[in-house]
Chains A and B, each alone.
Chain A
Amino acid sequence: MTVDAIDTMAVRYATGWDGAITQRVLIGLAGLLVVVLAGKVVGKKDCSVLTGLLWIVAGLVMVVFSIIPQDVIRFVISTEYLTRIRVIMGMVSVLVLYITFESIRRTHLQEKYALLWVATALIILISVLFPNAVALFRAVTGMEYATAIAAVSFTFLVMVAFHFSISMSAVQSKHSKVAQRVAILEARLKKLEEQLAGKDDHSSGGKPGTQQNA
């Protein structure tokens, strides 16, 4: 399928949206709802402003699309393919960065585990902002832009996975040390309790059946 064929399909798709009044109204309302809710939340202090802004942008895009669907799709088609990929990858990398920082902020994620994710997102972001750098990479490796991005992401994913295996091993050995310590302390505690019980009540001689070689 050629590029032109895809474009004509997209245009036909765009004209199709003209008649779909119900859907457009629903999308517009949903977008408005998102914008209003996000706007309300942003005002509060305990919420991150960035999250609210992202949601507002998403809602606005929905509203604009519901009002002028044809123009939106035409505008998208009028841009170059490379531009579109760059915009999408830019959004992806910003999203990864944002989610990583947000997870650190909410202490779901320790900084040392976040470093690889941040690096991945930054490299993609750099490739978006400076396409010439990618041109060099392309000249060296012969990879197309999208392929290069995919390769970079994949490499980092493998590294992240390996990092996880290593930290899991560390966690496992620590967890067995903790379990051993807990068991030993518990045994000592029981002994101590028995001794105390023995002191309190000499006649009974401790709990029956738990005394060694009585």
Chain B
Amino acid sequence: MKRRQSDTVILIPAYNEEASIASLLQEIHQHLPGNDILVINDGSADRTPAVAVQNGAEVLDLPCNLGVGGAVQAGFRYAYESGYQYAIRCDGDGQHPPSEMKKLIEAMKSGSNVDLIIGSRFLGEGGYKSTWIRYCGIHGLAVFLSAICRRKVTDPTSGFQMLNRPLLYFFSRVYPMDYPEPEALALMRREGYDFNEVATSFRERTAGKSTIGRWGTLYYVFKVFIALLVDRARPIDKRFSRENVAGKI
């Protein structure tokens, strides 16, 4: 019943991104022509969904604001149920340049048996400037996550990712609600999924401002650390683990 044009869907969670979403969508059409795009409108108050439809995206209109985790999970669920093999997730504020998506696709399809490719701001040279609080928070998280995931993580908060179908299935069942990215990494590793990072360049936001302020950063780091520790104490749900999912869906 679904009319898929590509085996990959680009998921863009958007909350009041009216100003930046149009140019982002145009850019995606330019770099990845013919690729399906899904904008998840997380209860915006502005014209985000209408602008997205005008620019050739499909829109998932959440009836109320669920936060990043809920919105992204809605996208994963939709991608899984529509039968897509891969999904690329990028933010609606334009800080993930669509030209960099090819790097994700290359890394994913090079056959390295990885379920998730993360675009990292910190891997390559050039690097990304931010406030020192944020820098410390992100790097503290990165070190801790690298230890518990037994994989090198440099950018645990990156929302620039590409997932394959088994992981779409897992995340559509289990995904943290707020500040989801670092916790999601730990959760998927516990279920036997694997990830890899590639260096991608990021842009300054073209419009709007970060949803996380200075104190928000402290709260973010604290909350994520607690969540990571609590997750360690939870039993592993084998139903969704990689061995039981891969090849069957």
Contact = CB atoms under 8 A, between A and B. Distances in A.
Interface of A: 172-173, 175-176, 179-180, 182-184, 186-188, 191-192, 195, 209-210, 212-213
A212 B36 contact: yes
Contacts, number: 59
Contacts of A192: 1
Contacts of A182: 62-63
A191 B60 CA distance: 11
Nearest to B172: A180
- What is the interface residue range for chain B against chain A? 20 to 34
Given A176-B66, A180-B77, 9 more contacts: A179-B70, A184-B77, A184-B81, A187-B59, A187-B60, A195-B3, A209-B54, A212-B58, A213-B34
Nearest to A175: B64
Residue in A184, A186, A192 with the greatest tally of chain B CB atoms within 10 Å: A184
A187 B61 contact: yes
A179 B64 contact: yes
Nearest to B74: A180
Interface in B24-77: 29, 33-34, 36, 40, 53-54, 56-64, 66, 70, 73-74, 77
Given A209-B54, A213-B56, A179 B63 contact: yes
A191 B3 contact: yes
B149 interface: no
Given A176-B70, A213-B5, A183 B62 contact: yes
A183 B61 contact: yes
Given A179-B66, A184-B78, A173 B177 contact: yes
19 contacts: A173-B177, A175-B64, A179-B64, A180-B70, A180-B77, A183-B40, A183-B60, A183-B63, A183-B74, A184-B77, A186-B60, A187-B58, A188-B1, A210-B53, A212-B36, A212-B56, A213-B5, A213-B34, A213-B56
